[in-house]
């Protein structure tokens, strides 16, 4: 009888430590902000490079996941509270590390476990003198940055006069109308807006900085280390496959093209 009880105990323990197949998908929060090519809404459907990578990664390991769409700040709050299991596309800071589980290589400059490596650039109107150097200290003021993102914190910590807005499209509208002198934005977005802007805008090279972004997990959601490691490893494998990533990015670029048309429905 005792051996039977021990066997049942070990079986239950194993099931608890394994993936809860009947408990539903892994619920990850993603931002509703326009963050191309990584994440953007088109006709109320979330698409982009992060979604493509995660679709492939979860299919590879035979697991299900669900994206919950919320504004970025609410995403962070709900995942930190354990109401959702993880967050998609977040950069590493020591403060965030106290709230979320990141891969072990997260503090590195270009870690292979990241879901993306994002470059931020300085954009100005053509009539604004070029920065004397590619540095946060030399960014022309006032400088536009996105609410809730690390770039906004970096600009403010440098003592720069900042205009903080909720949408990337607003930054470029403010540049075109001379309400700000510069904007700090991710490269992919900058290239698209500069190409389609009716006002002459300039991207200043090289990148101001390059930041890895991750799928991070709540410290209160109860996921096991092995479960998180399996997801990170699957993401790493997809990103390491050059042919797969080339095809993935081609699909994303095709989906992104209508977002910069005159009647764009993306957001």
CATH of the domain at 146: 3.40.190.10
The lowest-confidence range among 101-115, 140-154, 230-244 is: 140-154
Q: How many CB atoms lie within 10 A of CB 153?
A: 14
- 33 and 70 share one domain: yes
- Domain boundary residue among 211, 229, 252? 211
Are 160 and 180 spatial neighbours (Cβ–Cβ below 8 Å)?
A: no
Phi, psi values for residue 222, rounded to 5° = 85, 15
| Exposure string for 87-115, b = 16+ CB within 10 A, e = fewer | bbbbbbeeebeebbbbbebbeeeebbbbb
Averaged pLDDT for residues 19-38: 79
Averaged pLDDT for residues 179-195: 91
- Is the pLDDT at 46 greater than 50, yes or no? yes
- 34 and 62 share one domain: yes
- 183 and 217 share one domain: no
| Exposure string for 38-67, b = 16+ CB within 10 A, e = fewer | bbbbbeeebbbbbbbbbebbbeeeebebeb
Question: Quick one: pLDDT at residue 267?
Answer: 65
- 207 and 244 share one domain: no
Provide the domain count of the chain: 2
- 184 and 219 share one domain: no
**Domain range for residue 146?**
126-211
Q: Is residue 3 part of a domain?
A: no
Tens digits of per-residue pLDDT, 220-260? 999 999 999 999 999 999 999 999 999 999 999 999 888 87
Per-residue confidence at 36, pLDDT binned at 50, 70, 90?
confident
- 168 and 237 share one domain: no
Q: If you write DSSP's letter for every residue of the chain in order, what string do you get? A: -HHHHHHHHHHHHHHHHS--TTS--EEEEEE-S-BTTTBEEETTEEESHHHHHHHHHHHHHT--EEEEEE-HHHHHHHHHTTSSSEEEEEE--HHHHTTEE--TTTTSSS-TT-SEEEEEEEEEETTSPPPSSSSGGGS-SSEEEETTSHHHHHHHHTT--EEEES-HHHHHHHHHTTS-SEEEEEHHHHHHHHHH-SS-EEEEEEEEEEEEEEEEEETTS---HHHHHHHHHHHHHHHH-HHHHHHHHHHHHHHHGGGGSTT--B-
Q: Is residue 79 part of a domain?
A: yes
- 108 and 27 share one domain: yes
Q: Is residue 243 part of a domain?
A: yes
Q: Is residue 6 part of a domain?
A: no
Question: Quick one: pLDDT at residue 247?
Answer: 98
Averaged pLDDT for residues 172-197: 92
The lowest-confidence range among 12-16, 79-83, 160-164 is: 12-16
Hey, CA dihedral for 192, 175, 51, 255, is it positive or negative? negative
- 132 and 189 share one domain: yes
Global pTM reads 0.81
- 112 and 219 share one domain: yes
Share of the chain above pLDDT 90, in %: 69
Question: Quick one: pLDDT at residue 166?
Answer: 81
Per-residue confidence at 196, pLDDT binned at 50, 70, 90?
confident
């Amino acid at each position: 009888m005792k051996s039977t009880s021990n066997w049942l105990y070990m079986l239950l323990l194993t099931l608890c430590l394994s993936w809860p197949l009947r408990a539903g998908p892994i619920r990850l929060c993603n931002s509703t902000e326009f963050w191309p090519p990584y994440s953007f809404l088109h006709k109320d459907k979330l698409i982009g490079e992060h979604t493509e990578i995660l679709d492939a990664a979860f299919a590879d390991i035979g697991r299900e996941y669900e994206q919950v769409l919320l504004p970025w700040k609410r995403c962070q709050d709900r995942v930190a509270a354990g109401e959702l299991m993880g967050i998609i596309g977040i950069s590493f800071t020591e403060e965030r590390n106290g709230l979320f589980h990141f891969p072990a290589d997260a503090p590195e400059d270009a870690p292979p476990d990241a879901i993306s490596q994002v470059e931020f650039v300085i954009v100005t109107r053509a009539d604004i003198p070029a920065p004397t150097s590619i540095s946060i200290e030399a960014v022309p003021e006032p400088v536009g940055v996105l609410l809730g993102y690390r770039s906004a914190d970096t600009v403010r910590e440098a003592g720069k006069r900042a205009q903080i807005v909720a949408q990337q499209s607003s930054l470029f509208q403010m540049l075109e109308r001379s309400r700000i002198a510069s904007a700090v934005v991710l490269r992919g977005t900058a290239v698209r807006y500069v190409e389609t802007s009716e006002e002459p805008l300039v991207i200043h090279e090289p990148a101001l900085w390059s930041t890895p972004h991750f799928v991070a997990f709540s410290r209160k959601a109860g996921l096991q280390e092995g479960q998180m490691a399996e997801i990170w490893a699957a993401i790493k494998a997809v990103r390491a496959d050059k042919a797969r990533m080339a095809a993935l990015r081609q699909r994303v670029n095709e989906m992104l093209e209508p977002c910069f048309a005159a009647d764009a429905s993306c957001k």
